[in-house]
Amino acid sequence: MTRQTLAVATLLFLGTSWAPAQPMTLKQCLAFARTENSNVKIARIESAISGKKVTEQIGKGLPQVSATGQLENNLDLATSLMPGELFGAPGTYIPIKTGTKYDANATVSLSQKLLDASFWVGLKAAKLSDTQSNLSLRQADENTCYNVCVAYFRTLVLQRKRDNLQTMLNASRTTLASTLLKFKNGIGKAIDVDKIRVSSNTTQSQLQEIELNYTYTLNMLKYCMGMPMDSSIVLTDTLDSAEEFTPARDTTLNLSPILNARVEYQMEKLNLSIQEADRSNNIAAFFPTISLFANYSFKAMSPAFDVFKSGTDWYKSSAVGLTVSLPIFSGFQKISKVSQSDLGIREAEESIRLKERAIHLEVSNVEIQYTTAINNIRTERDNLALAERVYRNTQLEYQQGSGSSLELIQSESVLRETQNNYYTTLLALYTARLDREKARGTLTEFINHIQ
pLDDT single digits (tens) 71-127:
988 888 888 888 877 777 888 888 888 888 888 999 999 999 999 988 999 999 999
Let me know whether 232 and 259 are in one domain. Answer: yes
Q: Is the pLDDT of residue 8 over 50?
A: no
Domain assignment present for residue 213? The answer is yes
Let me know whether 128 and 262 are in one domain. Answer: yes
Domain assignment present for residue 10? The answer is no
Domain assignment present for residue 244? The answer is yes
Domain assignment present for residue 392? The answer is yes
Domain assignment present for residue 212? The answer is yes
**What DSSP letter does each residue of 219-270 carry, written as one string?**
HHHHHHHT--TT--EEE---PPPHHHH---------HHHHHHH-HHHHHHHH
Question: Cα separation of 305 and 102, whole Å?
Answer: 6
Question: Cα separation of 120 and 122, whole Å?
Answer: 5
Let me know whether 302 and 400 are in one domain. Answer: no
Paired sense of beta strands 289-302 and 315-325, if any:
antiparallel
Residue 205 burial (C-beta neighbours within 10 Å; 0-12, 13-18, 19+): exposed
DSSP H or E stretch at residue 291: strand 289-302
pLDDT score, position 427: 92
Q: Is the pLDDT of residue 245 over 60?
A: no
Domain assignment present for residue 264? The answer is yes
Indicate the angle between helix axes 26-36 and 190-225, nearest 10 degrees. 40
Let me know whether 347 and 235 are in one domain. Answer: yes
**Count of positions (residues) in the chain:** 451
Pick the last residue of a domain from 326, 352, 374: 326
pLDDT score, position 250: 59
Confidence of residue 152 (pLDDT cuts 50, 70, 90): very high
Let me know whether 261 and 295 are in one domain. Answer: no
Q: Is the pLDDT of residue 370 over 50?
A: yes
pLDDT tens digits, one per residue of 165-217: 898 889 888 888 888 887 888 877 888 888 888 888 988 999 999 999 999 99
SS3 69: strand
Domain assignment present for residue 413? The answer is yes
- Model pTM? 0.83
pLDDT score, position 173: 87
Pick the last residue of a domain from 326, 347, 380: 326
Judge contact between 425 and 384, C-beta under 8 A: no
Q: What is the CATH number of the domain that holds 86?
A: 2.20.200
pLDDT tens digits, one per residue of 18-37: 457 899 999 999 999 999 99
Q: Is the pLDDT of residue 366 over 80?
A: yes
Q: What is the CATH number of the domain that holds 201?
A: 1.20.1600.10
Q: Considering its fold, how many domains does the chain have in total?
A: 2
Let me know whether 313 and 226 are in one domain. Answer: no
Share of the chain above pLDDT 90, in %: 59
Indicate the angle between helix axes 117-184 and 263-284, nearest 10 degrees. 160
pLDDT tens digits, one per residue of 280-305: 999 998 999 999 999 999 998 888 88
Let me know whether 102 and 173 are in one domain. Answer: no
* Cα–Cα separations (whole angstroms), residue 298 to 107, 227, 277, 439: 7, 62, 44, 69
Question: Cα separation of 228 and 248, whole Å?
Answer: 39
Q: How many beta carbons lie within 10 A of that of residue 63, not counting itself?
A: 11
Let me know whether 269 and 259 are in one domain. Answer: yes
From 18-27, 137-146, 346-355, the region with the lowest mean pLDDT: 18-27
Question: Cα separation of 194 and 197, whole Å?
Answer: 5
Distance of CA 29 to the CA centre of its chain: 16
Residues β-bridged to residue 322:
292
Domain assignment present for residue 200? The answer is yes
pLDDT tens digits, one per residue of 44-79: 999 999 999 999 999 989 999 999 999 988 888 888
Let me know whether 83 and 223 are in one domain. Answer: no
pLDDT tens digits, one per residue of 401-436: 777 888 888 888 899 999 999 999 999 999 999 999
pLDDT score, position 16: 38
Judge contact between 392 and 412, C-beta under 8 A: no
Q: Is the pLDDT of residue 9 over 80?
A: no
* Cα–Cα separations (whole angstroms), residue 117 to 109, 280, 286, 325, 345: 23, 9, 9, 12, 20
Task: Of 362, 292, 360, give the one whose Cα is nearest residue 321.
Answer: 292
Question: Cα separation of 208 and 411, whole Å?
Answer: 21
Domain of residue 204: give its range: 21-62+116-287+334-448
Let me know whether 310 and 418 are in one domain. Answer: no
Pick the last residue of a domain from 306, 326, 346: 326
pLDDT tens digits, one per residue of 374-394: 999 999 999 999 999 998 998
Let me know whether 201 and 344 are in one domain. Answer: yes
End-to-end CA distance of the chain: 54
Confidence of residue 358 (pLDDT cuts 50, 70, 90): very high
Let me know whether 379 and 304 are in one domain. Answer: no
Confidence of residue 251 (pLDDT cuts 50, 70, 90): low
